[in-house]
């Protein structure tokens, strides 16, 4: 169920431009992590480094017991088979229909028969809700469908690791909500280690188990969602609050005089918004790697901002969780673990329909709200 990725002291430069330096983080096996950062901070470069398309200047990328930057071409080729990647634009071949696009990795990397390929492609197309669109060309479909087709293609080799670059860019908030739900549902199904790169705060606040933030050529912080979402670190706070006040400026970081001027004017960096409940799979079951809501906060003696873990229906998920686990299979929980983070499913069991915004949709803050 997924492979752990351990990044140690990773540095990437292009000529004299340092993109980021000394980045260390662990993507826990089977968990969903988000890497956030303003545009141009090197998120896509990081993702490409993880899959071996770009070579770091320094540092290690451990994938199991293999250190990616030091692998031979052959070993790298083998290791890449563990990955499914959704690039920012979907990277579909414009002249191929969706079926052939999605079948491409199977035809390229396996010796499967066309009958087997058809079975796998249709299975993945069903997972992402694209059945019936097999013959469509990329130019004939919407942005959301392209992302889902890219996701289906990323899934055909049954990846242990799924890397997703800006699944939410160019999508309206409703389609983003569907796609976010789809990623959570996929994680529950395939149990791959997932990294989502994005600058969408709402995605970061509701989808992942872990959040990291790239800023000023450094990984400012990386850890469990509750750690970042309760952090008083100015950059983290500004980013997750989506505010102008703070160290992040329009084009790049603000200089000291700007920050002093803000302080003189009493610019209020804003109170931390409540921590929303994390999205749950739409069929209501609990992901294997789901952490109970409040787990990190309790373990670290941190009080969440007022109103945290309350969903749109007014339910407090710190209280709701034990009941939810009892109803939906506590087997998913490690022994002794407290409640995990999650959104709803009301009393009647939900039919598994990954393309409906299931009860877990309630965990997402309403579009246009204070987020
Ligand atoms: N192949 C490349 N050669 C030179 N510079 C690059 C290359 N790829 C990306 N960059 C530079 O790296 C920086 C980070 O880019 P990118 O990773 O795309 O940012 P993000 O995805 O966070 O918006 C940018 O300044 C970009 O111009
Ligand atoms: Mg990018």
Of 274, 278, 280, 277, nearest to 359 (Cα)? 280
**Is residue 307 domain-resident?**
no
The contacts of residue 141 (CB under 8 Å, 6+ apart) are 98, 133, 149
**String of DSSP letters for 304-326:** PPTTTTB-TTS-BHHHHHHHHHH
Q: Helix and strand tally (H, E) in the chain?
A: 12, 10
Atom of ligand 1 at shortest range from CA of 46: 17
Average pLDDT over residues 233-248: 69
pLDDT at position 254 is 55
Both 62 and 199 in one domain: the answer is yes
pLDDT digits (tens, 9 = 90+) for 271-323: 788 999 999 999 888 999 999 999 999 999 999 999 999 999 999 999 999 99
pLDDT at position 339 is 43
**Is residue 133 domain-resident?**
yes
Both 81 and 119 in one domain: the answer is yes
Its domain, for residue 257, covers 234-271
CA dist 94 and 325 (Å) reads 45
Which residue minimizes the CA distance to atom 27 of ligand 1?
Answer: 40
Q: Which of 191-200, 232-241, 246-255 has the lowest mean pLDDT?
A: 246-255
Both 109 and 241 in one domain: the answer is no
Both 137 and 239 in one domain: the answer is no
CA dist 326 and 99 (Å) reads 41
**Is residue 356 domain-resident?**
no
DSSP 351: P
Which residue minimizes the CA distance to atom 2 of ligand 1?
Answer: 14
**Is residue 299 domain-resident?**
no
CA dist 71 and 155 (Å) reads 24
Say if residues 4 and 30 touch (Cβ distance below 8 Å).
Answer: no
Atom of ligand 1 at shortest range from CA of 43: 22
pLDDT at position 365 is 36
CA dist 65 and 226 (Å) reads 29
Say if residues 293 and 278 touch (Cβ distance below 8 Å).
Answer: yes
Provide the number of structural domains found in the chain.
2
Both 255 and 124 in one domain: the answer is no
CA dist 38 and 199 (Å) reads 6
CA of 78 to the centre of ligand 2 (A): 26
* Longest alpha-carbon distance in the chain: 70
Atom of ligand 1 at shortest range from CA of 54: 1
Core vs surface per residue 154-169: b (16+ CB within 10 A) or e: bbbbebbbbbbbbbbb
Atom of ligand 1 at shortest range from CA of 37: 22
Of 23, 40, 215, the residue with max ligand 1 atoms within 8 A of its CB, to mutate for a pocket test, comes to: 40
Which residue minimizes the CA distance to atom 4 of ligand 1?
Answer: 14
Both 238 and 218 in one domain: the answer is no
Of 16, 44, 166, 199, the residue with max ligand 1 atoms within 8 A of its CB, to mutate for a pocket test, comes to: 44
Both 243 and 100 in one domain: the answer is no
Atom of ligand 1 at shortest range from CA of 15: 4
**3-class SS of residue 74:** helix
**Is residue 342 domain-resident?**
no
Both 251 and 115 in one domain: the answer is no
**Is residue 332 domain-resident?**
no
CA of 17 to the centre of ligand 1 (A): 10
Quote the mean pLDDT of the chain: 83
**3-class SS of residue 257:** helix
CA of 19 to the centre of ligand 1 (A): 7
CA of 337 to the centre of ligand 2 (A): 36
**Is residue 300 domain-resident?**
no
pLDDT digits (tens, 9 = 90+) for 17-46: 999 999 999 999 999 999 998 888 999 999
The contacts of residue 237 (CB under 8 Å, 6+ apart) are 231, 246, 269, 270, 272
pLDDT at position 144 is 84
Asked which of 201, 222, 243 is the last residue of a domain, the reply is 222
Both 159 and 16 in one domain: the answer is yes
Atom of ligand 1 at shortest range from CA of 41: 22
Share of the chain above pLDDT 70, in %: 80
Of 282, 279, 306, nearest to 291 (Cα)? 279
Both 210 and 246 in one domain: the answer is no
Q: Which of 49-58, 222-231, 260-269, 305-314 has the lowest mean pLDDT?
A: 260-269
CA of 246 to the centre of ligand 1 (A): 24
Of 276, 279, 249, 235, nearest to 369 (Cα)? 276
Which residue minimizes the CA distance to atom 18 of ligand 1?
Answer: 44
CA dist 273 and 96 (Å) reads 45
pLDDT digits (tens, 9 = 90+) for 185-233: 999 988 999 999 998 888 999 999 999 999 889 999 999 999 999 998 8
Both 177 and 248 in one domain: the answer is no
CA dist 16 and 189 (Å) reads 43
Both 207 and 246 in one domain: the answer is no
CA of 49 to the centre of ligand 1 (A): 12
Say if residues 81 and 109 touch (Cβ distance below 8 Å).
Answer: yes
Core vs surface per residue 125-148: b (16+ CB within 10 A) or e: bebbbbeebbebebeebeebbbbb
The contacts of residue 270 (CB under 8 Å, 6+ apart) are 237, 241, 243, 245
**Is residue 261 domain-resident?**
yes
**3-class SS of residue 122:** helix
- CATH assignment of the domain containing 77: 3.40.50.300
pLDDT digits (tens, 9 = 90+) for 355-367: 443 344 334 333 3
Vertex 157, ends 289 and 89: CA angle to 5°? 85
Share of the chain above pLDDT 90, in %: 57
CA dist 272 and 240 (Å) reads 8
Say if residues 280 and 359 touch (Cβ distance below 8 Å).
Answer: yes
Of 330, 236, 321, nearest to 277 (Cα)? 321
Ligand 1, residues at Cβ distance < 6 Å = 14, 19, 37, 39-45
């Amino acid at each position: 169920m997924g492979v752990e990725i351990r990044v140690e002291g990773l540095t990437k430069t292009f000529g004299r431009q340092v993109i980021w330096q000394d980045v260390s983080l662990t993507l826990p096996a089977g968990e969903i992590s988000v890497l956030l950062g303003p545009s141009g901070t090197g998120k896509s470069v990081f993702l490409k480094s993880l899959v071996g398309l770009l070579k770091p200047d320094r540092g290690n990328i451990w994938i199991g017991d293999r250190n990616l930057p030091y692998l031979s071409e052959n070993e790298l080729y083998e290791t890449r088979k563990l990955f499914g990647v959704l690039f920012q634009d979907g990277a579909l071949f414009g002249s191929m229909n969706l079926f052939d696009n999605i079948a491409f990795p199977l035809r390229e990397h396996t010796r499967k028969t066309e009958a087997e390929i058809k079975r796998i492609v249709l299975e993945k197309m069903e997972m992402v809700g694209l059945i019936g669109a097999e013959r469509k060309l990329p130019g004939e479909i919407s942005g959301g469908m392209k992302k889902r087709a890219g996701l289906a293609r990323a899934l055909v080799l049954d990846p242990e690791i799924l890397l997703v670059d800006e699944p939410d860019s160019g999508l309206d908030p409703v389609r983003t909500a569907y796609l976010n739900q789809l990623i959570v549902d996929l994680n529950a199904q395939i149990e791959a280690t997932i990294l989502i790169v994005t600058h969408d705060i709402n995605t970061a606040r509701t989808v992942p188990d872990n959040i990291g933030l790239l800023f000023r050529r450094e990984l400012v912080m990386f850890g469990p969602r509750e750690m970042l979402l309760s952090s008083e670190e100015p950059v983290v706070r500004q980013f997750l609050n989506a505010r102008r006040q703070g160290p992040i400026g329009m084009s790049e970081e603000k200089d000291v005089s700007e920050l002093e001027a803000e302080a003189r004017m009493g610019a209020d960096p804003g109170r931390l918004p409540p921590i929303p409940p994390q999205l749950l799979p739409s069929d209501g079951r609990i992901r294997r790697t789901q952490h109970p809501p409040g787990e990190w906060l309790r373990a670290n003696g941190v009080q969440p901002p007022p109103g945290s873990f309350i969903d749109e229906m007014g339910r407090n998920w710190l209280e709701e969780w034990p009941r939810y686990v009892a109803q939906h299979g506590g087997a998913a929980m490690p022994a002794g673990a407290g409640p995990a983070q999650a959104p709803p499913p009301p009393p009647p069991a939900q039919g598994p329909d990954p393309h409906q915004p299931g009860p877990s949709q309630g965990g997402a803050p309403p579009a246009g709200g204070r987020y």
